[in-house]
Structure 1
């Protein structure tokens, strides 16, 4: 029998670049938008650093890389076209990173409450996670439209945690980029940084509490942080 030693703990996960490898579908949509303007495509494998700031930022970066005026990327009609195209292709190639499903199952079996804390729109996040059969692992999927302020504000993390009945004093963030580390620091919670995601700044430079190179290592990192929480609590009396 698995010991439910994580009851009372909530773990928040970023989505793109942490749970799911999404860059091929996002860059595919970007390239179709660039093509409508007669602009060259971004090589898929060379554009991972463009992911993470949302669709509007992705369009701006894509147009900048193509040498086109940024103002053209900010056309509301182009944004609407981007979203419509992405919805059609949201899970053509996107898949969970290796070890995600197994790790989420183990953490849940031990009693942890799992929640997605993402700057991706909630409806898009739900659509993606539903198509790749990850929704069932989470108590909630909390995008920026469901909180008072988006990452890196502590409001995003705290409101996501409390929305599933969790206590921010016993919570951990897992993410791949500066907004994830930033929201954890702002909330005063520990953060696990993964190195395989989408960040223009190396994870080592962002200085999370624990760095992992594979999702399979997230559970061990959670255990380290939980033990440290109780040690610190005992030392404080």
Structure 2
């Protein structure tokens, strides 16, 4: 099997289904503001740009805005609640563990590049027993500019000791595809994540419907490179 030297994963909607706990934290926040709650299916299409953007999208859906000081307070409410419930109902997607094991057994360096804050990222992965799979885990506040800026992905590869020229990004959103394009790396999209558009419309280099399809997709990308 011919795999890239490094594979970098998005977190929410790619490795883990965190929408139930994000929904819980968001709706707790909305209740404190006396605003309508957001349906789980709607939250799945709001995730990907961090907590601040998630709250802003919920406020827009409710047809309202907040003054800066009230917005900052709402963000703190969200982060505090989510930190206490980060892995209550979050699970790894099917076949994630098996696929990570196969890739690592073949010498692939694995990393996480996410727009979730570092503290919450570390807390979530540790709670799910996933930390040990990754040589580098880089949250949004650990780099000067987060995804889709290329620097976020580049920093993750560098911390792994990987080679950007032998790296593939795996994600679920336009943000992830744009990040890979900005960094000049191929990208695999998953169809089961939180994209705001059909995953096929992301125009990734490969599209998979299950994590057990990832090895073949990676091999296909390496074959295309010659």
Q: Normalised by the size of structure 1, how large is the TM-score?
A: 0.90
For structure 2, list consecutive stretches of 5 or more residues without a partner in the other structure.
none
Matches within 5 A, 1:146-225: 146-225=142-221
By how many angstroms is 1:68 displaced? 2.8
Which residue of structure 2 aligns with residue 121 of structure 1?
117
Q: Which has the higher contact order (CA 8 A, sep 6+)?
A: 2
Q: Is the 8 A contact 1:113 1:138 kept in 2?
A: yes
What's the TM-score once normalised by structure 2's chain length? 0.95
Contact 1:87 1:124 in 2 (8 A): yes
Aligned residues: 226
Alpha-carbon displacement from aligned partner over 1:93-147 (angstroms, at most 9, x marks no partner): 0000001000000000010000001111111111000000111110010112222
Partner deviation per Cα, 1:148-196 (whole Å, 9 max, x = no partner): 3211111111111011110101100000001110011111111001111
Conserved? CA contact 1:50–1:58, under 8 Å: yes
Aligned residues: CA RMSD: 1.6
CA apart distance, 1:201 = 2.0
Moved over 3 A (4+): 70-74
Bigger radius of gyration, 1 or 2?
Answer: 1
Give the 5 Å matches for 1:96-135: 96-135=92-131
